Each structure stands twice: as C-alpha cells, then as structure tokens.
Amino acid sequence: MALRVLHIGKFYPPYRGGMEVFLSDLINEQRKQGIDAHALVHGDPEPDDPPWIQRVPVQFSLVYAPMAAGFRGAMAKAIERIQPDVLHLHLPNNSALWALTLPSARKIPWIIHWQSDIVFSDIKWSVALAYMIYKPFEQALLERTAQIIATSPPYLEASKALSNWHNKTAIIPLGINVADAPALIELPKELGWRADTQLKLLSIGRLTYYKGFETLIEAVSTMQGVELLIVGEGELRAELEAKISASSRPGEPPRVRLLGALDDAEKHSLLAQCDVFCLASCERTEAFGIVVLEAMMHGRPCVVTDLPGSGMPWIVSQAKSGLRVPYEDVHAWRSHIARMQHDADLRKRCGEAGIQAIKRMFSIGPCEREINRHYRSLVPESVAIPSHKGLMVVVSARNQEKHIAHIIQRVTGLVPEAKVLVVDNRSTDATSHLAEVSGAVVLRPLLAMTTWGAMQTGLRYAQAHGYETVVTIDADSYYEVEELPTLLHEVRQNPKADLSVAYFATKHSVVRRFAWQWYRALTGFKMKDFVSGFRVFRRNAIAVAVSSDATLLDYQDLGIYILMRKHGLQILEVPLTMVTAKEDNSGIFRSWGKAVRYFAVSTLMALAHGRSRSNDAAQTTD
C-alpha cells in the first residue's frame, strides 16, 4: 500500500511565493514516486484543482496571517477521508496549530518543515507583538512533532524557536523541479530592459518590508549603464515608486522599474535574459530564497545580502554562484554590481557553478528522497525490505560536510559493487544532504549516539537487508578509504576469518604502547591496534556485533573481540600501508581522565574473561 501523506500548507500555486513553489514541486515529485500525497491550504478553490488539493477560503488577514474559519473542520475531514500515515506541517502557518486540538491528528506522526522563523522585526512591530501570542502554540507543535526539518545549517543555528529541538531536527535544503520548468516565451518590450542597457539586473519578490528593495533602488539609481527590473506586488508599491521617482535624474529614464506580478512563464523568461539576479533581503524572514535557485537554474550569477542566520547567502556560498554583500550597505551593493558589470568571466563562472549546484544539491529529487527517508522512519511497516547478498560499506559521520562526498565517491570508485550507507550522527551541517546527493543511503538517528552506536545502527540495517559482508569506516579517519581494495583482497584470501581488522603501522604514544602490551598479556590477543574502526564483518560477526551484549559495552574496542572469541569466531588483523598521512582522531587518549577510565574498564573486562584457551583466538597476516 502506498504511503499516505497530508501536507498542511499556507498557500498553493497559482499563489506566488517560495513556500508555495516548493510545496507544489515536492508534492508532484512525491506523487511521481508513488506516495499518495495530499495538500490542505488556504485560498479559494481553482477550477482545475486536482482531487488531492483542498483549499479553505480565507475571510481576512491579520498581520500577514490568513484567517480561515473553516480550516479546523477541513483538517478533521481530510484526516478522516485520507487516513494519512504522516502529517507534514509547513511552518510558519497559524492554521497548522489546529492539529493540536484534533484527536485524530494527534494519533498520526508529524513532521514539521521549518520554512522560516517569525522574526522579531525591527521594522514591523506588529509582527513581533503577534508572535508573542503565537509562540506558546508554536512551541507546543514543536514539542509534539516527531521530526523537524530545517532548510540550512545557518538558519538552524540562528533560530531561537528551534534552539531546544536540535536533537530532532534534520537539515534538508530545499530543491526545485528543474525538469518541468515553464517554457520560455518572447516578452513584450514593456517587460524588458532598454536597448542601451549594459548590465541587466533582475530582482523578484513581494513588495514588502523585509525584501530590501529600497537598498537596491538607492544603489542602482546612480550607476551608468545599469537597469534594474523588479517583479512582484505588495503593500510597499506606492512607497517604492515614490523612491524611484525621487532618485531618478531629470531628463533621464528611471534606472529602476516595477513590473508588477507576472506569471511563471514571464518570470522564467526574464530570469533567462537578465545578466545578474539580485536579492537584497534585510531580515531572516528571508529564510532560504527559492527564487535564488530559480536564477541559478537559468545560469544567472547571483548577488545577495550576506544576511546573518539566513540560508540565502549559504546557498550562494555552497554553490559558488555569486557574491555576498554586507547587510544594508548601499556603497557595497554599488561596488559588487560594478564588479559584475565589468567582469564577464566572473558572471560566466558563477552562472555555470550555479547550474552544477542545482543538479548536485538543490534539485527536488534528492530533497524528496531525503524527506521520504524520514517518513519511512516514522512508518517503518511501509518499508519493503529487498534481499541483497553483496557488500555494504557503513560510514559513521558527524559534521563531515568537508569530506563525506569524497569518501563516498572514492568508495564507489574503488569498489563499484559496494552499497554505501552513511549513519549521520546528528550533524548540524550539510553532511546528511551531501551524502544523499552523492548516492549513499543515509540513516539519521533521532538521538545522538556514540560512534559504536552509529556503527551498530549501520550493521543492523545491513543485516536486515540481507548483506553478507560489511565494511565499517569512521568518517573522521577518511584516509582509510584508499586502502579499502587492499583490505578486501586480504579478506578474500582468508575465507575463514569472521572479523578482519585493519592495522596501520604508525608510531604510538608511550601510554598507548603500554596499554596495548598490557591487553595482549591479559587477553592473549596478538592485536597491534585495539581501537581500529576499519573492519570487515562477515555474517556471523555481524550477528554478534548487533547483539544486546555488544550494545551494553562501555568500550567496544576490546569488548567486541572478546565477544567474537566467546562465540568461537576468528579474528584476522591485516597490516596495511599508510597511503595518506594519518591524523589520530581517537578521543580516548586526548586526556588523562579519559585514558585512565578506558584503561580501568577495559582491564576489568579482560580480567573477567581471562585469556583464551583457543589457539585460533586471533591471527595476524604478515
């Protein structure tokens, strides 16, 4: 049976806005992938609405919030009719609060998609006052939800509303539908730039207080050969028109024009024709900037405000698709626009980088797959478990956005037959997303784990999916990937080995050398390195490693070898040559306190179990 999801959104196209574009793209992609996705939103029904969209009429708006008296009843009826497996709430949305009052809603697992904070505005005090009323209910929603999705690392870090909920928040950047973009059309002259314009600028957004159009208008008004077109409607239109008129030089055409609201085909045609896209937003209400992705999709370089705590400059930084301008700095805006005007190569490089980043990081496909993974974790009975008999590489990672894509690419390049599983141990950066778009299966536990707990999670996944051989790698030790073919070759040469452990000859500290010699004497193991996480588990070793006894180990390094010996399994230590310089990331020997505790606990374990009476307890290849 298909997974059923009910999205509770604010609006839906043809209403124009970033949240609405994303919701439409997400639902369409989910339905393509076999998910029975539905949407309940505000607005008057459209004649061509499909049956899976329900709009609830709005009576009035209060401080930008739509008020729909029938929303609670519509939500109750939708839940009764659809019987969703997951309730997906897109916030901010005052009508989503009704879920707290419905018994039928509280029986369903929730996912909250955190599109934006309600910012304590320095510009709009009415928003700040309204939030004081809204906040307790918002926090109640966050407490009740099973999973929260934030859209970028800087937004999560800066969000006060999410500060108590990092333990159940995942970062999944928004994506757009590249394949089904509207066809480009020929635009009438009144919607284009003048023929003598040297640099064609474009900005798109609602004419409202946080978009920073005033800064752009002031910056462009004195620049020769530059013309800015602004697409959008809103309550500030008259004020912005007055500013344009006041800043225009007598006898010269204005360098800024307001085009009003345009349809999608007109918008995308303008994006395809402009030289540079600009977004000067001045508050974190601009949480992400879907329109920046749309500009990148057309290969347009972007100039955006370097707004602290917003995902907008993070996009441009990650994609290398443009320039970031200091907050509300008119002179800096002029300087950055002038740089774009006189450096065609820079515009070309940024545009090409943006296209590649859309394919790699910001398309709707990877975004949908990662969201779907969270759905499946909440409704595990909906997962059909396939049968595999091959090799899986399990990578434990936390905050490894710098290295994770390289690790996955090297694994798939060196061992093409291997399936890569990344256990993302509550990263607060883009590790999970980069692993997903690099082709790995990604698991993200709801609670932070030890490295061993993360490895066990990966081993359990591999066992449940029928894999007979599993390699474990800690992403901190990314140098190990290059030695993977050599390790697997040694494993194949020793078919009786249940657990194979890599050993890299390197100079250890005096403390560590003493500890290893001590453990060899107590246990009879001939191991040269007791803390190597670069291992190959065969089926019987996997079963021991995921057992309850293994889960209870305070320190698994020595304990897992003792458990293997207890079950009569053979351990093989494989010496490998260090290709890449090793960085010692073991946390055990970084302080005397940790080292003493590790030494004491492991010594007691070794004394309790004694030396092996078996001659085959451990062996080492030369």
pLDDT of residue 99: 96
pLDDT higher than 50, residue 618: no
Whether residue 308 is found in the same domain as residue 427: no
Whether residue 207 is found in the same domain as residue 283: yes
Token pair recorded at residue 509: 């500290």
pLDDT digits (tens, 9 = 90+) for 370-412: 999 889 888 866 544 444 578 999 999 999 998 999 999 999 9
In contact, 149 and 112? CB cutoff 8 Å: yes
pLDDT of residue 382: 58
459/621: higher pLDDT: 459
Whether residue 513 is found in the same domain as residue 553: yes
pLDDT digits (tens, 9 = 90+) for 235-279: 999 999 999 999 988 888 999 999 999 999 999 999 999 999 999
pLDDT higher than 70, residue 48: yes
Q: Is residue 612 part of a domain?
A: yes
Dist CA 529 CA 511 (whole Å): 13
**571-576 and 619-620: which strand pairing?**
parallel
Whether residue 121 is found in the same domain as residue 212: no
Whether residue 391 is found in the same domain as residue 353: no
17/354: higher pLDDT: 354
Q: Is residue 370 part of a domain?
A: no
Amino acid (1-letter code) at residue 446: L
In contact, 469 and 391? CB cutoff 8 Å: yes
pLDDT of residue 61: 86
Residues 6+ apart with CB under 8 A from 53: 12, 38, 39, 41
- For the segment 106-118, the average pLDDT, to the nearest whole number, is 93
Confidence category of residue 285, pLDDT binned at 50, 70, 90: confident
CATH code for the domain of 398? 3.90.550.10
Whether residue 165 is found in the same domain as residue 305: no
Of 171, 204, 238, the residue that ends a domain is 171
In contact, 169 and 162? CB cutoff 8 Å: yes
In contact, 359 and 385? CB cutoff 8 Å: no
- Least confident range from 99-113, 196-210, 418-432, 542-556: namely 542-556
Residues 6+ apart with CB under 8 A from 431: 397, 398, 399, 400, 401, 404, 422, 424
pLDDT digits (tens, 9 = 90+) for 336-377: 999 999 999 999 999 999 999 998 889 999 899 899 988 988
Instruction: Please classify residue 216 by burial: count the beta carbons closer than 10 Å to its beta carbon, then call 0-12 exposed, 13-18 middle and 19+ buried.
Output: buried
Instruction: Please classify residue 466 by burial: count the beta carbons closer than 10 Å to its beta carbon, then call 0-12 exposed, 13-18 middle and 19+ buried.
Output: middle
Lookup result for tokens 């370089």 = 301
Q: Is residue 125 part of a domain?
A: yes
Q: Helix, strand, coil proportions of the chain in percent (round to 5)?
A: 45, 20, 40
Q: Could you tell me the residue range of the domain that residue 610 belongs to?
A: 387-620
pLDDT higher than 50, residue 123: no
Q: Is residue 372 part of a domain?
A: no
Q: Please list, residue by residue across 95-127, b when 16 or more beta carbons sit within 10 angstroms of its beta carbon and e when fewer do.
A: bbbbbeebebbeebbbbbbbbbbbbebeebeeb
Q: Is residue 379 part of a domain?
A: no
Structural domain count of the chain: 3
pLDDT of residue 553: 78
Confidence category of residue 599, pLDDT binned at 50, 70, 90: low
pLDDT of residue 524: 81
pLDDT of residue 448: 78
Whether residue 167 is found in the same domain as residue 193: no
pTM: 0.65
pLDDT of residue 380: 67
pLDDT digits (tens, 9 = 90+) for 159-182: 999 999 998 999 999 999 988 888
pLDDT higher than 90, residue 145: yes
Q: Is 575 left (phi over 0), alpha (psi -120 to 50) or beta?
A: beta
For CA atoms 494, 497, 499, 505, the dihedral sign is negative
Whether residue 544 is found in the same domain as residue 427: yes
The segment with the largest mean pLDDT, out of 83-92, 126-135, 461-470, 570-579, is 83-92
In contact, 303 and 166? CB cutoff 8 Å: no
pLDDT of residue 590: 56
577/10: higher pLDDT: 10
Whether residue 331 is found in the same domain as residue 413: no
Whether residue 196 is found in the same domain as residue 151: no
Token pair recorded at residue 115: 């599109």
pLDDT higher than 80, residue 508: no
Q: Is residue 378 part of a domain?
A: no
CATH code for the domain of 341? 3.40.50.2000
Residues 6+ apart with CB under 8 A from 92: 10, 115, 116, 117, 118, 138
- For the segment 59-81, the average pLDDT, to the nearest whole number, is 92
Output the CA–CA distances (angstroms, integers) from residue 598 to 121, 396, 514, 556, 603, in the order listed: 51, 21, 13, 10, 8
Neighbours of 339 (CB within 10 A): 13
356/130: higher pLDDT: 356
Q: Is residue 367 part of a domain?
A: no
Token pair recorded at residue 256: 């800024």
- Least confident range from 189-198, 481-490, 579-588, 609-618: namely 609-618
Q: Is residue 266 part of a domain?
A: yes
197/559: higher pLDDT: 197
- For the segment 298-320, the average pLDDT, to the nearest whole number, is 95
25/125: higher pLDDT: 25
In contact, 117 and 284? CB cutoff 8 Å: yes
pLDDT of residue 614: 40
pLDDT of residue 25: 94
pLDDT higher than 60, residue 64: yes
Paired strand residues for 423 = 396, 443
Whether residue 472 is found in the same domain as residue 571: yes
The segment with the largest mean pLDDT, out of 38-52, 477-491, 549-563, is 38-52
pLDDT of residue 615: 39
In contact, 422 and 488? CB cutoff 8 Å: no
Confidence category of residue 613, pLDDT binned at 50, 70, 90: very low
Of 116, 143, 171, the residue that ends a domain is 171
- Least confident range from 31-35, 119-123, 309-313, 398-402: namely 119-123
The segment with the largest mean pLDDT, out of 10-14, 430-434, 516-520, 597-601, is 10-14
Mapped onto helix, strand or coil, the DSSP state of residue 117 is coil
pLDDT of residue 259: 96
pLDDT digits (tens, 9 = 90+) for 319-338: 999 999 998 899 999 999 99
- Per the prediction, the chain carries an average pLDDT of 88
Whether residue 251 is found in the same domain as residue 306: yes
Dist CA 324 CA 301 (whole Å): 11
Tell me the percentage of the chain whose pLDDT exceeds 70.
88
In 387-483, which ranges are E strands? 391-397, 419-424, 441-443, 469-474
